[in-house]
Every structure is written in structure tokens, then in C-alpha cells.
Structure 1
Amino acid sequence: MEIILNSKSKFILLQISLLLLIKPIRSISHRTISNKTEIHIAAFLPYPETVTGYLGLDQVESVKEALADINNKDYMLKHYRLKAIFYYTKFNAGTAVNDFIHMVAEKPIKYGIIGLLASSVSEVVCLTTKDWNLATISSSSVSVTMNNRDKFPYFYRTTLSDASYIEAQITFVKHFNWSNIAVVYDISSTYSPTASLLINRLRESNVTVGSSLGVLQIYDHAIENIKGKFSLPQRRCIYQVLSLPLKYYFCLALSKSKQIRVIITVMELSGLKKFLCKAYYSKIYGKKYIWIFPGYYPERWYHIADEDVASVNCTTEQLFEVVKYSFAIYRSFNRNENVTKTISGKTTWETYQHFHSIPRITRIHDHLKAYTYDAMWTLALALNATDTQLRENNRSLLEFTYRSSHIMRIINKKIKESSFQGLTGHVSYKKRERVEKVHILQLQGNITQGTMVTVGIYHFGIERVQFDTNYPNSHSITWPAGKPIKSPPLLVITKLTVSSTAIIIFDILAGVGILFGLGFLLFNIINRKNRNIRLSSPHLNTIFAIGCILCYLDVIVLSINTDHSEITVKNLNVLCGTQIWLLCYGFTLAFGSLFAKTWRVYRIFANKTSKIIAIKDWHLITTVANLLVVDIVIFIVWTSVDELQGTISTITTIDDPNDPDIRIQTDLHYCTCRYFPVWLGIVCGYKFLLLIFGSFLAFETRRVNMKVLNDSKFIGFSIYNVSVFCLLGVLSSIAVGNQETLNYCLRSGCIIVCTTVTMIMVFLPKVLVWKDAKSFIEPSSHIMTSSTTSGRYDIKREGNRFGRYLQLSDLSKLQTMLQQKYKTYHKLRQELATLQDVVNDLKHRYQCNHS
């Protein structure tokens, strides 16, 4: 298991221990061979030469080859012979620290360190080398943590750091205008800093990081413990308590919910295979998605080895489906270059031919040999330049000790000024970062012959990606969909609107209703002095007609409000309030006038006392006005506190079946506010109470059948009609949900039918009576039946007597006379009851006398 020592106190303790254990080295006798003094460097490599492979023998031979070439150059270290002392870390930070302690404790002095292939090993060693004035040149440590020059002032690398790859990734992403990216990474000291830098740089470059997921492999928690803790979507999710498979599923669901098409991974290979397996089952692959991986994975890394079978529930074929046409960003060089001479005097091809001629040398990861080779040359050239500068002042490298900070500053400067042709290309540094071309690679081919090919090159100097390159073996990008994808996909927004046919039909019906309303209104005004019209309260009829017209207008406003194609947000807000209050005011005026007339009938015929009740039209108009004032007050408070606003809600978002780069989003525009249910409840509750009371009055006066006094039967039926359609309209709106056309038809239909039926029931009898020029009461006789809660009463009068009442032109006088007759009727009944008592008493006495 690899040990990562990241506690600063441990390194301080280590340094103190070394200082106490090791005596200051003031003068060292260097071994002299053939008039050249041996100087030494330390090579920290993973494994010794007895281990065959690119991390063992290959690395050792690379160092030996570089030393041989350096020592054979007359201009290199003229007075010295460079040698290397090998230390083998086995990728273990603890072993590396132990080796470092022995290195500085043992003679001879080392003038620098090369190797350190693993970032975790480099970090723990280089935290201490600055106090021992030792330059360190790594051949493959890529961690961005090492970019901290306060902690690692003497650290360099011949490879590129992750920071350099990040700049290439960002440039590549921006080249195709991908503006919504997901970043998935392992939570570790190696991967987390890189991912954090990548996320920050993406955001600085105006690229949205729609999802960033840090994965820590802990398997303790079950699925049911997670559902209550997280909700989609979230912008950033670092899960330290989730089981690994579920974390992968959750992140993939998050990526799908945000419509992310480009996914960048910064992960260890074993975890990446598990993640890609979940991606396969979640269908996050194919022509709609692009994956970008690190380039340091081995060839055909997606193959499922025997050791992977237990942990990865996918086959090689399934993983290949995910990674097919994926991209990688990595260093690369042409190992077959046989024209340009390197600093050794040999071409790259000649050097590799020599490497491959060595027994047991492998051809795997040839680039690691080259970076180690160039690391040796970089340090050697810096020592050579330092010795040249020192000799100008009659000094030399032999004066170097672990406390020689002055000499270390010269070595550090010379490394930064390095510029030579190495095996990996031209070696130079800019801001202590290696300047090198970065290759954009793509996995092309089938599952058996698939390979990473160069499709583009990133140039640090011009900071752009060149795709039309003549680089050897370069290829064109293969896009699964035949063209570059879009991330996010092009969003085509459609608005959920009502069918134009439905709008036209109901607008025509509402227009016809308005014309009828205006016609009835004019009829009522023109004939208001007609005896029959006057007896039916023409003022209330006028109010009723205006209310009906407002209800019809509400249907037209509703039509405009459901077609948002040409409506601005500001106008939509105005329409929201207009739509609600037209219906409320129209209902209050129309139903309120019916309610007032019914209430008058109820008061007259429910009166059992001898007191005369006179209810005139202005009393009823006042009642309607009071109901309207309540509406106005509610409207003012509602608008002031919580105004209705036009709101957009996404109903559905689906992929275009004909184009994977297009998403079709359906939006619903509707009116709402923060406490809309509360305000709607207040308004509907108030109207509902009015409906209940009106229905009660209609029921109580259902047997009143005096046309000259009121329209009780028609009004009662109208109230029932209004109640039923109001309830039907509310329930239907809830039931149909987002079916906008059906919702509109039901609402408009209820308003139009309810208003039309009520208006016909109120006005049509008056029109017919006026047309036939007939009286409201038959000339021969009339029967009035009154029913109250106390019982039923019949009043018969001769037609000629009622004829006198019909000559009255004032409704209030007629009401007074009716009440007087009703009072007489009660008195006669009382007298009759008294006479009946007298008769009963006489009968009783008569029976007593005869007995």
C-alpha cells in the first residue's frame, strides 16, 4: 500500500532528525580518475534492473545511456565524471523518505536528484530537498501540487504537469464551443488538486462546470440512506459516505439531468472502469456524448483483465462502447525521428535502436525512457553551466555542500535557462514549466485494433489547437454523429399554447355573447319606463348585463393570455391581473344583482309580522355595490402585497429524434405569485359563500310565482346554473393539468355557457312579454302561492280586484299593498281562530245542558 505523508510536522521532524544525526560536511575528498573527479547524483527509480519492464530495467538503462552520452562529450563537465547512485522506491513514499535519509547521510555528496516517477513520492521527498539545497528533476510527476514554488523551489520535470494538460483541455473544449462540462475525479492527494485546478480554470474561461464529482471509495451506506439526503440537480457533489456504485449512478443521473454532453475524468484506472461500467448501463455514451481521459493510461486500458472481473460488472465490449471515439490529452513525440540530431549527437531513432538492442528491454512506454534520459541531460547541463560560472571566480562545483545555498541558486537558474534538443523534443522552461507540444489523441478503430491516434496539437506559445497538422501519423477527428456535438445541446424552446382553432371559436362565441349582452342592455335602458320592465327592477337588470359582458371579455383576455408568442413579460403581468379581476367583477355584478333581487323576494314573503317592509331598488344597488367593494379591497391588497406575475415553467425536455444536438424544451407560461393558493382561496371562499347563500334564497322562494314582482323561478334556476358551472370549472382545471388547450376550452366553455344561460333566463321572458304586449298577470284571476320555512299559504282574489293593483306604476306601492293584504289575511285567520274557539265553547255548553 502506498504511503502518502502529507503532514508538514512530519517533514520538519525528519529534517531536525537528519541535522542531529549527520555532522556538517565541510570538505569531501572526491575520487579522481584519469584527471577527472567523480561527482554523483541520486537516481530515485521505482525498481532495480533485475525487474524486467518499463519501471525497472528500462529506467536503469535509460539513466546509464544518458550518463554514457554525457561523459563522452568533451564540452560536458570537462573536469568531472558524472555518476549515478540508484535508490529504488517501489512507488512507496515511506521507502523514498528512508532512501533520502541514507542518501544525505552517506558519502559522497549528491549534486541533485533525478527520477521520482510518482507524484506522491516526489511530494514527500521534495518537501525536504529545499533545505538540503538539492535540485530535483522528475521524469513523470505531473501533480499540480508540485507547482507551489514556496514549498518546492528546486523542483523541475521534463514531463508536462497536469496544469499544462489542463490548458490544452480548456483550449480544446473552447475550440468546439462546449460550454457545459462535467468533471469526475478521485478524492486523493494526487487527483483532487488537479481536478480543483481544472474546475477553477474552466470557470475562469467561462465554461460552465455543470457537475463536479469527487469519488471516495467507501461502501458502507445503503441506497435508502441516500435518497433523503440528496436531491437533483446539484452543482457540486463530493460524496464521502456513499457506496461507490451508487455514487456513480447518482453522478450520471446528475449529468443527464443537466444535459451535459462532455465529461472529463481525472481518475485512477480501476475506479474509472467501474465508473464507465455504470455509464454504460445509464446509456451515457454514443453519438451524443464525448469523454476526455488522461493520456497516461496504457494502450487498450479498457480491456477487462482477470483481476477486474470481480469488481467491474461489464465486459470489454461494453466498456469499448463507452470509450469509443473518446479523446485524451497527453504528451507525445516522434520516436521515429531520424533527421534532427539530439544533444547527444544521435537522432531519436538511433537512440531508440540502441535501447531496443539491450537484452530484456521492453518497448512499452518508450516515452518514460526518453523523459528520464532528458532529465539526466537537464541536470548535467545545469551543473556544467554552474561550474563554468564558478571557475570564472576561481571556484568550482567541488565546493558544493548541502548548505551551499549560493551554488544552489546558480544551479536553479541554469536549469530554468535550459534549452536543448532532447529525445522528447526541444527541452526548455517557461515559468518553470516544460514547454512542449501537447497532442490531442482520439481512440479510433475497432475493439481489437483500436488505438489512440493524434488528431490535433496544442501549442503553448500561441495557445491554440491545430487540427490541420502535417504531423506524422496524424488523423482527422471521427465524430460518431458525423459532426461535432454541442454541449449543452442546442435548446429549441417551444411554448405550450392553446390551439388557434379553439381560440378563434371561443373568441367568436364570446364576441357574440357581448353583442347579445349589449342588445339586452340597450333593450333594458330603452324600455326601462315600460310597466312590465319597470316592475322587474331595470337598474339591477342593467348591472346584471354589464356583469355578463365583463365575463365574456374575460374569455377574450384569457385567449390573449394563452397565446404568448408576441407578448412581453411586462404585458403578460398586466394580463394576469386583468384576467382574474374581469371574471371576479363580472361575477359580482351579475350574480350580485340576482342575489339582491332574490333576497328582496325572500324578505317580503318570509315576513310573518304585521310590519310593512319596503325594499326599494337603491337598497339592492347598495347591496351589489358592497359586494363589489369587497372585491376591490381584496384586489388592492393582493396587488400591493403579492402581485400576480407571468411565470415560465418547463413542462418537458426531450431529444430531437432527428438531431442529437438539439433538445426540444416545452415551456408553460402561467400567472402566479408567492402566495397564490392563499389569495385564490380567499376569493373563491368568498364567492362560494355567496353562492351558498344565493342558492338558499332561491330554494326558499321557489314557489313564488308572481311575475310582476320578480323573476324568482328564472333567477333561482340561474343561481343553480352558476353554482354548478363554477364547481365544474374549478374541478376540470385541476383534473386536466398541463393540457393547455383542453384546460382553456373547459374554462372558456363554462364561462360562456353559464353566462349565456343565465342572461337568457333573465332577459328572454321580458323580451317575450314586451313583444306580445301582454300583462305579467292574467286578467281573470291569479293565484299566488307563497312558501316559507313555516308552511304554505294560498291567497285568492277576484281578478277585478287585482286589476286595480296592476294599474299601479310604482313597484314599491305594489309591495306595500301586498304586505297590507298579507297583514289582513293574518288578522282574518286570527279572528277565525277566535270564532272557532267560541263555537267550540258553545257546543260544549249545549252538550252539557242536554245531558
Structure 2
Amino acid sequence: MEAGAGGWPGGMACRPAVEMAIEDINNNSGILDGYVLKLHHYNSKCQPGLAAKQMFELLYKPPVKLILLSGCSPVTTVIAEAAPVWNLLVLSYGASSPALSNRERFPTLFRTHPSANMQNPTRIRLFDKFNWKKITIIQSVEEVFTSTAKDLEEQCRGKGIRVERQSFYGDPTDAVKTLVRQDARIIVGLFYVTEARRVLCQAYRHGLYGRKYIWFFIGWYADTWYIPPPEENLNCTAEQMALAAENHFTTESVMLSRDNKPTISGMTGLEFQKRLTKMISTDPANTGGFPEAPLAYDAVWAMALAFNCTLEALPKGIDLIDFNYNNAIIFEHLFNCVKNTQFKGVSGKVKFSDLGDRIARTQIEQLQKGKYVLLGYYDTVLQELDWYGNEKFVGGRGPPPDSTIIKESLITVSITLYIVVVIFAIIALILALSMFIFNLKYSYRSVIIQSQPQCNNIMVVGCALCSISLVLMGLPAEGITFPRESFSILCHSRISILMIGFTFAYGSMFAKVWIVHRMGASENQELAAFTKEEPISPGKFYTVIASLFGFDALIIIAWIIIDPLKRKEQRFHLQEPPVGTEEDIMLLPILELCQSSQQEVWIALILGYKCLLLVFGLFLAYESRNLKLRYVNDSRFVGMAIYNVAILSLVVGPVVTLLIRSQGNANFAFVAMTVLLCTYISLGLVFLPKILHIYRVPQSKDEANMAHAFLRSTISKSDQLRLEQLMKENNELKKQIDIRESRIAECRKILERRLGSSKIGDSTISIDIHSSGVAKTEITSVPSVVNNNMNGLAPTEESSTMEVDKIQDLLCVEFSDSRDANQNIQTPEDPTTQSTCFNSTMLMELTVNNGDAGQSSDFDDDDTNSSTSNEILL
């Protein structure tokens, strides 16, 4: 009657139910009239070895036994496997092991207790109802539970439900710890009631209870099975066990008919239950086998009906009392009668399948506030679920998830940040439009005319495009999604609009400093002096901007065609949900990125080219900081704007690209701040001085006339070409002058060497270029006295002039009119621009004194009687 080690104490209520059935049958004259049923019973304590010993004692002690009744599955397995040897039928009221459905192994077994496998379709139906796709099975190692777990796993996998299994023997602590590591949430327990209490205690100690967890236990436990008896010495109190057991589900075949219709015995199911309660001395909730008692009662009635059927089917002259363990005829008739038995019992309709299993509906219950509540029935044959909707879950928010919910959290730009940036971008757009209108409205004012308004308009368009790109760059934002199939378009739109906007805005400023620097270079000083009062053709600026735009367009088109950007998800580690979130979730951050296979190459190409442009712009702005041209009157402010754009871009670009690319808000904030600052500062530096000037200085009549004249006047192309030709010729003349001066110096050295000890006086060489255009070269040599101590040498003209006669040169100086270029320009045929050659004569008088100091005579070009003179033509 009591359970063995970890067994089932079903005899506590089932033996009284069997005795009740035998009494009712013996008192019923319509069944087995003339016969009396007697019960011989043993307490096997659910131990197979003990049961085998007791079976042999029953068989070899008179009288001969016609049929065997068995309880738990381990005992039934031993008895049912051995019974065919003695031509005995076995009728079990408490065995639920699926292994007992094997007809080859257990050919004479019938069960009023449905197979445990009958509960698996019901469990799977509940898993499907509550959308649980992951379950965990924990079981003890008995065959009944191993086979049930195996069948449940196979059926679950067939339905696409993932299953984890853990088994234990004796102590379930390690198995429960594994459940914690596996994040088990929906747990099916398969074990006897003693082990069930141990598992439940460990579940409480490891926190596997409450809102996140749902337990499924076997339904044939007593109603208060979770309250530990003192002799078990569990480390959990009754209150703790009740808390851990709250809201668990049970599934079990219907064991008590709850309708008010009388059964074959004349009692209803409830009347049987009341009668049995009076027979036992303990509380039914604490009595082992009380739920299975109707099965034991109906098992005796099935046996009696089979005996009655056999009496009618046996040939004349053969009776039941003639049965012995070698009598196959009576056995076969008895087997067929049991197989075909059908009746309404206190446990419901009793009928056996070909495998000897009881066919019955399954009932589903839930423990709510310490009491089991019926939730519904499931018909395995018809696959119909009758659900009453009485289920309750902790928190009242519906069934918990089968595992920690991994909720994808898209990393987007904060909606607050996005709105702020969009507002500033709209303000920038309005500001750019206002500057464009201002430029057109006051296009007749000289301050606008002389600032290259066409370039300024292009800069305004570029600033507007950069502002528009910020609206796209912030998508997707919090609460603002973007279709995944169109994400590639968004990726290329962001980059293209920003690149073109930057090229227009920065390129127009770059073009200005480029032109100013070229005109201010040392080799173009004369050209700058001539054109500083003349307007500069806008085509030069357009050429620079168009070149930059063309390079951008080439990169964008090649990128789109060769290696288009696509949407890519970057996933990060799981994160805890915000504080206060009651759902059992973990957040999986996902960042949407624009990615292509060779993206690094394209980014390096773009950044490299833009960085070179920025650095070169800085250099040009610095070099031309002091240059002023009348028709680029804002070059100084443009240079300041270039400083601002270059420094911000060079600092923010690498930071955004390398450091914070995966941080949505920081990335967007840095880019937006840079673009907006560059836009506002550039527009302010270029246009604010003009606005203040127009506001403070009204237009004068002279300014109006000059503006009107400017609109009508242009400098002809032929004049420009002629001017450039003159500048080239002037440069050539300067080079020739340098060459002549070096040759004069060489002549002086030659004179010194040839005259030996003669002393050449200092010569003064002066080149004066007068306004008349006549270049004069004068070489004056102070006469030197050569004292000759050779008394025998007479002064002769040949000896005194022999060496000097060898030095001659011709100085030809070609020059041009140096008058102000703003005055009348002489043509190349003008005499003042022709080459002129001058013969400069160096006259040197040498006097030789024979011992007496002689006074040298002055050099006179007109004196033909000079004793010692020679002309050196240079």
C-alpha cells in the first residue's frame, strides 16, 4: 500500500476501491450468478523484484488464479512480461508506461489506466495554443518516464517545437541547475510524486517559479502532493513549496465521470467518490492513489464482465473452474471477451484498443491558489479541445514566453535630436533662399557686382543641398521607418547630395581664392596691375567649379554602377531592457548601415580627394590673404570661410568615419553640427558684410553710373591677348639686361688681368630707363697713371694701346614703355618700344714718363691729337 523508494503509494485508495467493486459485483445477481469473486493482494511497494517474488507465491498457492491485477508501471512490466507463460491475463489500473503498449512483449496486458503517451498530444496541443516553441523535459530514469519523454520529444519535433531533456536519479539538484543554464521556461516534469517534491524544492531554491515559468506535472498526484511530509526532510517549507507549485498545469486522462448519469454499477462518479471517501481514514487530498481509484474500480468490473462473457462463450461442459495454467481454450475466450469489453464506468467510458490501452479523454487542470481548477478536455481520437478559459498567469498578462524574448532594437537617431537638426536645416534653407533673393535683388549694386555674384549663387545652392542631406542622413529616426527595399536609394542619396552640396558651396569659394592667388602671383604682377580695375570673366570661376563637380559625378556614377551600397545590419551584444520593463525580454541592438564590398576604397578616394582640396584651399586662402582685387572684393571673407570649413571638416571627418560610426546619435550629431556650422558661418561671412554695406550706404549717382557702365562694358579678347604678349616681352627684356650686366663685370676683370700693374679706377655703370623710353648706358673710366721704370722705353702708341684694342662689345638694350598701363598702350610698331643700340666708348689715356712726373691729359672725344689713346667699344 505504501510506496517504495521513490515509488507510488497507489494502494492506499485503490485497494478499498477494488474491495468496493468486488462487493458490488458479488451483490449483483445479473453478473456471475452463482460465482463469488475473492481478492488476494500483496503490497509490492512498486518494486519489481518484490513483485516478482509475490507473483510466484500467488501462482503456486491454491486456488488457481484466473487474472492478475497490478498497479504501478515497474511492477506491471515484470508481471505482464511473465504472465503469458501461465496463460494469464493482466489487468492494470495504475500502469501508464508507454512501453507497456508493446503487444509483442506484453501480449496479455490490458489497462484501465491510459498510457502516459496519451498525455503527449494534449501537451502539444497546449504548447500550440500558447505559442510555446521551446520546452524542456526533466525526468527520472524509470522506464515509464524515459519512454514517455522520448515519445513527447519525437512528437514535438514533428510539430517544430524545440526540446531539451534532462534526467536524474535520486537527487535532482544538478538537473535543475542545468535548467537554469539553459534558460528553461516551459518545463515538463515526469517522475513519481516523491521525486516531484524534490524537484519542486530545488526549483524554488533556484528561482524557477513565478511569472517567467510554467511547470507541467503528472495529473495523478494527490491534490496536496506538493506539501512535504515530515519524514522526507526537504529543505523547503510548505509555504515555499506552495509558492513554487502555484499555477502549474497537470494533464491526465479522465479518471472520474463528472456527469450525473448512472454507470454500470448504478452509481454516478461523484457518488462513488463520496462512498470511497467514507471508506478511507485519511484526507483524500493526502491519500495516495485516490485519483486512480475509479480506474481500479472499473478494472474489477471489466474483469467481471469478461468472466461473464467467457461463461457464455465456453463450450458446454467447460467452466471457469476448470481453468488451469495450461488451459489455452479458456484463456483465448477470456482474452477476446476482455478485448471487446465496453461499458460506462465511474471513470467514464471503458474501452480497450488493439494494444490493450484504455481509450479516454484527457483533462487539463491548473493549480490556482492551492486548488486545482479544471481548464478543459482534449479528445485524442477526435483531436478536439474543449477549453473553458479558466487559466490564470502571474501578472494577468497572458502566458509567459517560452524563453527570454530577444527583441530587436533598431539603433536609430533620437527623434528629439532629429527634430532639432531638421529645424536648424530648415532655417538654413530659408537663410540660403533669402541670400539668393538678396543677391538677385541688389545685383545692380557695386558691392554685389564686384563680388562675383554668380559664384555666390552657386555657394547658396550648395549650402541648401547640404542642409537637405541632413534630413536624409537622420533616417531612419525613432518612430520614423524607411522601407528596406528602398534603403539602397537612401544610402546613395545621402552621399550624393552631400558631396554635390559640398562641391558647390566649397568649390565656389575655392574658385575665388584660386583666381585671386593666380592674379596675385609674382609672375603676374603686371597683369594684376592692369586688370585690377577690370572685371574678371565668370567663365574662369565656372571652369573650376565644373571641374570639381565633374569629378564628383564621375565617382558617384561609378560607385552606383560598379559597387552599389546596400543595407547591412550590424548586431551588438544583448542588453537589459530599460528599468521598469515587466516583460521578460532582452534587447538585441541592430544598426542599419550602408555597405558595399569595396566601400573602404570608395571612402578613401572621396576623403583623400576632398582632404587635398581642403588643404590646398587653406594654403591658397593664406597666400592670398593680403591680395585685393576690385572685382573679387570679398576674397578676405571667403578665405575666412574656407578656414572654417576646412578645419571643421578635417577634424570631424576622421572622427565620424573611424571612431563613432556605430553610434547613431553621436555620428548624426557630429555630422549635423559640422554641416550646419559651415553653412551658417559661410553664409554669414560672405553675405553679412554686403547686407550691412547696402543697409548703411545708400546707392549714389556715381555708383549707379559706374554699375550701368560696367553692365555695358567688357574687355575685348584681342586686348587681353596683346597685354599678355607685352608682359612676356617685358620679362624677356629683364633677362637680357641681367645677362649684359654680367658681361660688363667680366670685361672689367679682363681689363685688370691684361693691364697687369695698371690700376683701373672704379667704374660707374648706370642704366636709366626714362619715361621717354630711351635707355642709356654710361661707362666712365677714371684715367690711371702708369709709371714705367724702364727708362729705355719710349712711349709709343702701339705699345700703349695694343692690349686695349682687343676689348670691344656692343650693348643693345631693348626696352618698352614704362608708362602707366592705364594710359595709352603703344603698339609694337611704336618707336619707343623698338630695340635701341648704344655705342659706349671707354677712353683711356696712358702717359709714360721717363723719370719725370708727367701730368696726364683729360680724355676728349673730339681731340684727334691725343698721343696715347684708344677707344674701347663696349
Q: TM-score, normalised by structure 1?
A: 0.64
In the superposition, relative to structure 1, how do residues 746 and 626 fare at CA in structure 2: closer, same or farther (>3 Å)?
A: closer
Report the Cα distance in structure 2 between the residues aligned to 1:738 and 1:111, rounded to whole angstroms: 81
Instruction: Report the number of matched residues.
Output: 716
User: How far 1:550 moved relative to its partner?
Assistant: 1.9
Indicate whether 1:554 and 2:477 are aligned.
no
Residue 219 of structure 2 is matched in structure 1 by 295
Q: Which one of 627, 631, 637 corresponds to residue 562 of structure 2?
A: 637
**Residues 435-444 or 810-819, more deviating:** 810-819
Q: Secondary structure at the match of 1:142?
A: coil
Partner Cα separation in structure 2 for residue 512 and residue 656 of structure 1: 38
Q: Deviations over 1:579-617 (max 9, x none)?
A: 34322333344445556666777788899999x9x9885
How far 1:637 moved relative to its partner?
Answer: 3.0
Measured in 2, the distance between the counterparts of 1:828 and 1:248 equals 100
Write out aligned runs for 1:268-307 (5 A). 276=200, 280=204, 285-286=209-210, 290-298=214-222, 300-303=224-227
SS of the equivalent of 1:185 reads strand
- Secondary structure in 2 matching 1:371: helix
Residue of structure 1 equivalent to 2:242: 320
The answer to whether the 8 A contact 1:691-1:719 is kept is: no
Partner SS, residue 366 of structure 1: coil
- Structure-2 residue corresponding to 1:248: 179
Query: What's the CA shift for 1:158?
Result: 1.6
Q: Aligned runs of 1:644-659 on 2, under 5 Å?
A: 644=567, 654=577
TM-score by length of 2: 0.62
Q: What does 1:701-850 correspond to in 2, within 5 Å? A: 701=620, 702-704=622-624, 705-708=626-629, 717-726=640-649, 727-728=651-652, 731=655, 744-761=668-685, 820=728, 827=735, 834=742
Which shows bigger deviation, 806-815 or 177-186?
806-815
Residue 215 of structure 1, CA deviation? 1.4
Matched with 2:553 is 628
Q: 1:217 to 1:666 in 2, by over 3 A?
A: closer
C-alpha distance in structure 2 between counterparts of 1:402 and 1:809, whole Å: 136
Q: Shift of the alpha carbon at 1:139?
A: 1.8
Rounded to whole Å, the distance in 1 between the matches of 2:209 and 2:55 is 47
Structure 1 Cα separation of the partners of residues 85 and 578 of structure 2: 60
User: Counterpart amino acid of 1:634?
Assistant: W
The answer to whether the 8 A contact 2:14-2:290 is kept is no
TM-superposed deviation, 1:532? 9.1
Pair 1:655–1:719, CA change in 2 (3 A): closer
Alignment deviations for residues 395-451 of structure 1 (CA, whole Å, 9 cap, x no partner): 9895887795x8767545433432345454553346755355655444455xxxx4x
**Deviation of 1:753 (Å):** 1.7
Give a deviation string over 1:12-64, Cα, whole Å, max 9, x none: xxxxxxxxxxxxxxxxxxxxxxxxxxxxxxxxx9989xxx9945687667666
- Per the alignment, in what secondary structure is the counterpart of residue 728 of structure 1? helix
Q: Report what 2:164 is aligned to.
A: 213
Q: CA deviation at 1:689?
A: 1.3
Q: Which residue does the alignment assign to 2:251?
A: 329
Asked if the contact 1:348–1:423 (Cα under 8 Å) also holds between the matched residues in 2, the reply is yes
CA distance in 2, matches of 1:721, 1:219: 78
Over 3 Å counting, the alpha-carbon distance change for 1:819 and 1:324 in structure 2 is farther
Indicate whether 1:190 and 2:144 are aligned: yes
- Matched with 2:848 is none
1:514 pairs with 402, 426, 429, which one? 429
Deviations 1:805-843 (A, max 9, x none): x99677996996898599669949966995898699799
Amino acid at match of 1:562: A
Question: Which residue number corresponds to residue 13 of structure 1?
Answer: none
- 1:336–1:349 contact (8 Å) kept in structure 2: no
Partner residue in 1 for 2:611: 692
Contact kept in structure 2, 1:439 and 1:458, CA below 8 Å: yes
Give 3-state SS (helix, strand or coil) of 1:156's partner: strand
- Looking at structure 2, the residues matched to 508 and 847 of structure 1 have their Cα atoms a distance apart, in angstroms, of 91
User: In the alignment, residue 700 of structure 1 is paired with which amino acid?
Assistant: F
2:112 to 140, 151, 158: 158
Long gaps (5+) in structure 1: 1-44, 221-239, 256-261, 469-475, 775-805
Checking the alignment, whether the CA contact within 8 Å between 2:253 and 2:361 is kept in structure 1 is yes
1:554, distance to aligned residue in structure 2 (A): 1.2
Distance in 1 separating the partners of 2:576 and 2:619: 55
Contact 1:139 1:157 in 2 (8 A): yes
**Shift in CA distance, 344/462, structure 1 to aligned 2, threshold 3 Å:** same
Which one has a bigger Cα radius of gyration?
Answer: 2
Is residue 302–residue 319 contact of structure 1 (8 Å, CA) maintained in 2?
yes
Measure how far apart 1:277 and its partner are. Answer: 5.4
CA-atom RMSD in angstroms: 6.2
Q: What's the offset of the Cα at 1:752?
A: 1.8
Gap regions ≥5 residues in structure 2: 528-538, 700-712, 761-874
Q: Distance in 1 between matches of 2:751 and 2:642?
A: 53
Within 5 A, what are the aligned runs for 1:34-73?
Answer: 54=9
Cα deviation, 1:541-584, whole Å, max 9, x if unaligned, reads 66544433221211233466426558655556644443343223
CA distance in 2, matches of 1:508, 1:169: 57
Alignment match, 2:535 = none
Contact 1:218 1:243 in 2 (8 A): no
Residue 291 (structure 1) shift: 3.8
Match of 2:298 among 352, 374, 378: 374
Change (3 A) 1:272 1:90: closer
Alignment of 1:126-145 (within 5 A): 126=80, 135-145=89-99
Flag the 1:601–1:407 CA change in 2: closer, same or farther, 3 A: farther
Q: SS at the partner of 2:623?
A: coil
Once structures 1 and 2 are overlaid, which stretch shifts more, 541-550 or 599-608? 599-608
Q: CA deviation at 1:115?
A: 0.5
Residues 220 and 291 in structure 2, CA contact (< 8 A), matched pair in contact too: no
| Secondary structure, counterpart of 2:309 in structure 1 | helix
In 1, Cα distance between equivalents of 2:726 and 2:569: 56
Tell me the residue number matched to 1:117: 72
Q: How far apart, CA to CA, are the structure 1 residues paired with 2:97 and 2:361?
A: 18
- CA drift of 1:625 comes to 0.6
Cα shift at 1:144: 3.4
Shift of 1:703: 2.0
> How far apart in 1 are the matches of 2:312 and 2:606?
100
Contact 1:330 1:440 in 2 (8 A): yes
Identify if the C-alpha distance between structure 1 residues 278 and 113 changes in structure 2 by more than 3 Å, giving closer, same or farther.
closer
CA shift in 2, pair 1:456/1:67, >3 Å: same
The aligned amino acid for 2:623 is: R
Any residues of structure 2 matched to 1:522-561 within 5 Å, and which? Answer: 544-558=459-473, 561=476
Tell me if structure 2 keeps the 8 A contact 1:517–1:545.
yes
Question: Which structure 2 residues correspond to residues 8-87 of structure 1 after superposition, within 5 A?
Answer: 54=9, 76=31
* Structure 2: distance between partners of 1:126 and 1:830: 130
* In 1: Cα distance, 2:668 partner to 2:81 partner: 72
Query: Does the CA contact (< 8 Å) of 1:279 and 1:322 recur in 2?
Result: yes
- Identify if the C-alpha distance between structure 1 residues 281 and 764 changes in structure 2 by more than 3 Å, giving closer, same or farther: farther
Give the 3 Å change call, closer, same or farther, for CA 365–101 of structure 1 in structure 2.
Answer: closer
Q: Which moved more, 1:807-816 or 1:420-429?
A: 807-816
- Say if 2:13 and 2:293, in contact at 8 Å, map to a contact too: yes
**Counterpart residue identity of residue 552, structure 2:** L
Q: Which amino acid aligns with 1:628?
A: A
Kept in 1, the 8 Å contact 2:157–2:163? The answer is no
